[in-house]
Amino acid sequence: MRLLHVLLLLLAAAAIELAPRVAGAGGDNLVFDIRAQTGHFEPSELVVPANKSFTIRVTSAENTAVEFESFELHRERVVLPGETITVLIPALAPGSYTFFDDFHHDTPEGAIVAK
Amino acid sequence: MTGVRRRTKILVAVVAAAFLAIQFVQADRTNPAGRGDLVAPADVSRLIRRACFDCHSNETRWLWYSHVAPFSWVIARDVSAARRRLNFSDWTEYTADPETKKHKLQEIVQSIAGGDMSPWYYRILHSGARLHPNERELIIRWANQEATTAAP
């Protein structure tokens, strides 16, 4: 009987711990990842839900700094080699929003597509 | 001699006709609505408006020569490029991401301190864009202070 109580307590604690993360994954705190590596962005096209704010984690796997920039989104951030930064993006109207590496213009542009 | 005069007249006529013809190719000189103006102390705001707003805002004063091709094409292209890089009429868009705001402020400091802004060729025709050293210092001090508070 005592073992059952312990198990129930452990389950309750796990539920309390996991609840916020599950809620976040449901759409209140959307997070997407973009990686700059070997001269391109991965993914090059990121599909996000329209009319919902979200966060992009940008990681540079390059040997030099990259500048994650988007004129349409009004964002400009330097990412040092090996670093991951978070970029806050407000709710977007449906459409395509390009981004590029302003330090390496030969890197193909990427796009965030809000649907 | 008559042949030279005739050829000169033809050349002048061709150039004049070409000049008139290109006037029909108009540049995009719009001032769209902004998404949220720069917020700064009055003295700083006044300086930035005077020196920067013609290119870096949606409140461009399109002077008479900006309606004459080919100058209109060059001016419209420069304004468009400047707005994409930094648009004070969309300032609140940058502030929604504090690190972007900080980055823009640092770029303002670099451009003003380095004398890159406003460009020399622009200052020739626009005396208002010329900043005295104390005016530069005022903008730099404000931008540095804002950058410090924008993001830790």
The domain total for chain A is 1
Order the strands of the A40-42 sheet from edge to edge: A40-42, A30-37, A54-60, A84-89
For A23, the enclosing helix (H) or strand (E) is helix A2-23
* Cβ neighbours around B74 below 10 Å, total: 12
pTM (two decimals): 0.79
Nearest 5°: CA angle at A102, between B131 and B72? Answer: 55
pLDDT confidence band for A16 (50 / 70 / 90):
very low
Q: Is residue A7 part of a domain?
A: no
Q: Is residue A20 part of a domain?
A: no
Q: What is the CATH number of the domain that holds A93?
A: 2.60.40.420
Amino acid identity, position B31 = N
What is the domain extent for residue A36? 29-114
Q: Is residue A85 part of a domain?
A: yes
The beta-carbon neighbor of A75 closest among B84, B87, B97 is B97
CA of A49: how far to CAs of A19, A114, B106, B144, in Å?
A: 22, 5, 32, 36
Convert the pLDDT of each residue in A18-57 to its tens digit. 443 433 344 468 999 999 999 999 999 999 999 999 999 9
Interface residues on B facing A, Cβ-Cβ cutoff 8 A: 84-85, 87, 90, 93-94, 96-100, 103-104
The beta-carbon neighbor of A74 closest among B94, B98, B99 is B94
Residues of chain B found within 8 Å of residue A71, distances taken between Cβ atoms: 84-85
Q: Write down the ipTM of this complex.
A: 0.80
